[in-house]
Chain A
Amino acid sequence: MPFLAAGSTLHVMSVQPTLYGDRKVYPVGAFNRGVAEWLSRIPPVWVEGELTELRRNDRWGSVFFTLKDPEDGSTVPASMPRRAFDALGLELADGERVHVQGRPELYAAKGEFGLRALTLERFGLGEHLAALERLKKTLAAEGLFAAERKRALPRFPRRVGLVTGHDAAAKGDVLTTITTRFPPARILVAETLVQGPRAALSIVAALEAVTAEPDVDVVILTRGGGSFEDLLPFSDERVVRAVAACRVPVVSAVGHEQDTPLCDLAADVRASTPTAAGRLVVPDLGELLEGLRRARAALALGARRAFERQRERLARSHTGLERGARRLLERDAQRLSVTRDRLRRGPALLLERRRGALDAAAGRLRALSPRATLERGYAIARAHGDVLRSVADVATGDRVEVELAAGAFGARVEEVTR
């Protein structure tokens, strides 16, 4: 059933309401025409939607179709001049995404609203890619993917948020990896749609819900592989912004290694697979316990080593002290013994010295004594008790006493020589 008759025109007319007292009342036709006239002033706009229920007939002046919003299911009937439509040469199938430029119209005869298309473009893979590339550039320019925005994951998460599809293989992989690696892990799963037009908002809601829960300090956003279209929600601007704005670090594991949905770029860490994401998020309990045991052993060893080091140092100090003291004592003892020796030797030395002095004196005394002269062969002659110094003191026959060095004898003077 056509919604808008081909070539239908809106006759702009001023409508006079009928007055019932102070109530203005319009006939239906006038009401419809009035609204139609008002709508016709809206300039042409571009509308995006899925093309469905396409009806074309060579006998009709227009083609008719319905545009459907894949996000919320809203629809709008649309029409387009058949010649203009045919001139595009598009082989459009039901469900294809299109951009339609047109203006709103009201079919006055039936009060039916619709979109009158002027032109139409397929919004296909190429257009998707181009739009994605534009979005990527815009978000990158905003710094959403900047390396300095990336946060470190907690080494020991208190609670892991997992945003994933219902009963998805990805979910199972993450749960198995985490619980195997780290059995005490607490995981909070928030299920979401992971493909289709409503997935983006669902993902954003799940992210928000899971991070609003207490203790959740890291989130894994995951989905297994899929077609380009399947993964599109993970490049949706709302999802990408939600990932970037998430209050806790996000690990993104979406699609396969070669897919890079924009949420991967906005996430703090990108994991190649759900299993890899699980490994990134929790430590290995075995390794953790081993590390703790090692730390404890090193702790005891370190303390003992510090203790031994101190004892060694103390022992060294003690030895040094002893040696120092002994050295001091020895020096004193030696000095004492030297002194004692000197003390002992003192009197003998003195005696010797005295004896020496005495001997010298005796020598000198002896040298002066006449006896020494006698020893050289001289003799002392006495007569009458006087020492004879001149022949005049004696006469022949006098008795003379002669003293030699050794002994003395008496003699008679036989002659006196003058």
Chain B
Amino acid sequence: MTDELSFEQAQKELEGIVERLERGEVGLDEAIALWERGEELYRLCSGQLDAAHGRIEELAKRAGQVPPGS
């Protein structure tokens, strides 16, 4: 399930968890579960950033495509 999360979703969930923890309305068991989940999301986000390699591709060259009429 975690694998399918986009960076955006993971980041949003992480922020939500931090917010809940900061409001302090959670019990201990839940706080621990949230913390573990938050750490997992943090690793996921950092991992995605680390794994992302910048790349600039040229579509026309790659696909051999030429705008019509040119």
Contact = CB atoms under 8 A, between A and B. Distances in A.
Given A296-B42, A298-B18, A310-B27, A192 B7 contact: no
Looking at B32, B39, B56, B65, which has the most chain A CB atoms within 10 Å of its CB? B56
A292 B18 contact: no
A190 B59 contact: yes
Given A303-B21, A306-B31, A186 B55 contact: yes
Given A183-B54, A192-B67, A302-B21, A296 B28 contact: no
Interface in A192-241: 192-193, 198, 201-202, 205-206, 209-210, 213
A155 B6 CA distance: 10
A84 B26 CA distance: 88
A187 interface: yes
Given A205-B67, A295-B42, A303 B56 contact: no
Contacts, number: 126
Secondary structure of the A side of the interface? helix
Given A183-B54, A205-B67, A302-B21, A210 B31 contact: no
B6 A156 contact: yes
26 contacts: A184-B54, A185-B54, A187-B56, A188-B57, A189-B56, A189-B59, A198-B68, A201-B69, A209-B59, A213-B59, A288-B49, A289-B46, A289-B49, A295-B15, A295-B18, A295-B42, A296-B38, A296-B39, A298-B21, A299-B35, A302-B22, A303-B31, A303-B38, A306-B24, A307-B28, A310-B31
A-B interface, 7 closest residue pairs, ranked by CB to CB distance from nearest: A302-B21, A306-B31, A184-B52, A303-B35, A202-B67, A299-B38, A190-B59
Interface of A: 72, 154-156, 158, 175, 179, 182-193, 198, 201-202, 205-206, 209-210, 213, 285, 288-289, 291-292, 295-296, 298-303, 305-307, 309-310
Interface of B: 6-8, 11, 14-15, 17-18, 20-22, 24, 26-28, 31-32, 34-35, 38-39, 42, 45-46, 49, 52-60, 63, 65, 67-70
